[in-house]
Amino acid sequence: MSSDVYTEEVVIIGAGIIGLSIAYELCKRGLSVTVLEKEKIGAGSVWASAGMLAPISEAKSEEPDLVDFALYSHSMYRKFIDSVENDSGLNCGFNDTGTLLIAMGKDDEGELKHLYDTQKSRGLDSVWLDQKKIFEIEPNLSGWVTSGLLAKNDYQVNSRDLLIALGKSIIKFGGKIIEKAHVRSLGKLEDKFKSIKYISKSQEVYIKSKQIIICSGAWTNNISDLLFDVDIRPVKGQSIRLNGPNMLKHVIRTSDVYLVSRLNGELVVGGTVEEKGFDNSIQAGSIMDLLRNAWKVFPNIYEYEFCESTVGFRPATLNNLPLIGKTNIDNIFVATGHFRHGVLLAPGTAWAMSKMIIKGEIPDIVKPFGIEKHKVL
C-alpha cells in the first residue's frame, strides 16, 4: 500500500450537514479546507431527514440551553439559505409556512396544552386552533383531528438539496471534499500540527493539518487513537418518501408521526427513534406503523406512490445535547452529537466554530455544549 503526505490549513472529518456547513463558512472566510468523508456526502443521518426546522414545536421537550441555541440558529436560517442558494445556484426547498401539531383525542390535547403553556412562558409565537379552524387551513386532514397548535414561525428545508448545494459552494470557494476517505487515526506530529491517516482507493494518505474539526456524527467513536474520550451512540431512524398531489400546506406532526410535504409532490413521513446501534435493516413493522399513523391524520396518503424507505443514524450523546467546542488536545475541535437537530443547528454551529477557528473565541451560546459538560467514556 503506497502513501502520500500533504499539508492543509483545516481538515474536517465528516461530510454531513454539520461538517459541510462549517466547511462552507470557513471557505467563504478565505481558509483552505479539506473535508474527508468515509462514504459519500450525506451518507449519515441527514439523507433520511425531513429537514424540519422546528425549535418552537419542540420547546417543551428540550433543555433550556438547547432551546436557546436552536432559536438562535433558526434566526440565521433565511440568510444562510439565501447565501447558499446564491453561491451554488441551486434551490434548497426552504419553506416558512409553519408546523401544525395535531391532537387526536383528549390525551393528545393535554400534551399540546402543556407545550402551548411552555411556548407562551418563553414568549414563543404559537396559536391554539379548534377543529373548525384546523380544517379551514388544512381541509384534507382526518375527521379524527380534534384540535391543534400552529407554530407559525417553524420552517422546513429540503435537507438533501441543501447538502448538494453546500458541497457545490465549498468547491466554488476552493475547498476540497474527498469521498471514500476512511479516517483511521489522529496523531501528533509537532506542537500544534496534527496528522490524519486515512485510506482512499487502497492508498494510505497522511495530512498535516493546523486545525482539525471532528464532525463524524454517529461514527465518531470509530476513529482509533481519538486522543480524547467521548461517548457518541447511533440512534436509528426510519423514514419513507411518497409521491402524490401536494395537499398539505404545513408540516403536520402528531404524537406518533410527522408529514413534510414538498412542492414537487414528495411527502416525507417519519420518523422512528430506535436504540439498535448500527442496524441498517428496514423493518416491515416500522414502515407499517409509519403508514398507518400517517393515514390516520391524512387519509389521502392511501393513494400516494411509495418511492423510498431510508435508514439514518442520529448521533446522540449521553445527555442528548450536542458536543461543540475545543477538545483537550490543542487545535482539535469537535462538532457532533446533534441528535435530531443537525439540520436546524447547522448554521449556528458553523458560525460558532468559525469564531473558534479564526478568532479563538468560544461564543457564550455554545459554552453549555463544551466537552467538559459531557460525561466521557
pLDDT of residue 304: 98
Per-residue pLDDT averaged across 89-99, rounded?
96
336 contacts 18 by C-beta, under 8 angstroms:
yes
* pLDDT interval class at 328 (50, 70, 90): confident
* pLDDT interval class at 186 (50, 70, 90): confident
- 174 & 312 share domain: no
pLDDT of residue 228: 63
pTM, two decimals, is 0.94
3-class secondary structure, 172: helix
- How many residues in the chain? 377
Q: How far is CA 164 from CA 46, 85, 235, 369, in A?
A: 12, 11, 24, 28
Per-residue pLDDT averaged across 209-221, rounded?
91
* 251-253 and 233-243 strand pairing: unpaired
Number of domains in the chain: 2
- 148 & 179 share domain: no
pLDDT of residue 118: 87
Find where cell 437537530 sits. Answer: 341
Average pLDDT, the chain: 90
* pLDDT interval class at 155 (50, 70, 90): very high
- 167 & 214 share domain: yes
Query: Domain end: 287, 316, 345, which one?
Result: 316
217 contacts 110 by C-beta, under 8 angstroms:
no
* 194-200 and 203-214 strand pairing: antiparallel
Is 79 a member of any domain? no
Is 368 a member of any domain? yes
Identify which has the larger pLDDT, 317 or 189: 317
Is 89 a member of any domain? no
Per-residue pLDDT averaged across 2-15, rounded?
78
**CA angle at 34 for the pair 229 and 329, rounded to the nearest 5°:** 25
Residue 240 cell numbers, joined? 419513507
Identify which has the larger pLDDT, 230 or 283: 283
Q: What percent of the chain has pLDDT over 90?
A: 71
CATH number for the domain including 202?
3.50.50.60
Query: Domain end: 281, 299, 316, which one?
Result: 316
What confidence tens digit (pLDDT) does each residue in 101-116 have?
A: 999 988 899 999 989 9
Q: Which segment of 96-100, 158-162, 221-225, 320-324 scores lowest on mean pLDDT?
A: 221-225
pLDDT of residue 197: 75
- 322 & 220 share domain: yes
Identify which has the larger pLDDT, 331 or 137: 137
**CA angle at 346 for the pair 112 and 32, rounded to the nearest 5°:** 180
Q: Is 89 exposed, middle or buried (0-12, 13-18, 19+ CB in 10 A)?
A: exposed
- 169 & 311 share domain: no
Structural domain span for residue 246:
96-154+234-316
- 149 & 239 share domain: yes
- 253 & 267 share domain: yes
- 177 & 104 share domain: no
3-class secondary structure, 65: helix
- 148 & 206 share domain: no
Q: How far is CA 208 from CA 174, 192, 203, 359, in A?
A: 18, 10, 16, 21
33 contacts 170 by C-beta, under 8 angstroms:
yes
What confidence tens digit (pLDDT) does each residue in 115-147 have?
A: 999 888 888 889 999 999 999 999 999 999 999
Is 76 a member of any domain? no
> What is the helix (H) or strand (E) element at residue 62, kind and residue range?
none
Is 325 a member of any domain? yes
* 182-188 and 147-151 strand pairing: unpaired
CATH number for the domain including 278?
3.30.9.10
3 pLDDT above the threshold of 60: no
- 332 & 202 share domain: yes
Query: Domain end: 295, 316, 337, which one?
Result: 316
Is 265 a member of any domain? yes
Is 187 a member of any domain? yes
Residue 36 cell numbers, joined? 474527508
- 39 & 145 share domain: no
- 242 & 301 share domain: yes
Please name which of 237, 231, 232, 267 lies closest in space to residue 46, comparing C-alpha atoms.
Answer: 237
Is 148 a member of any domain? yes
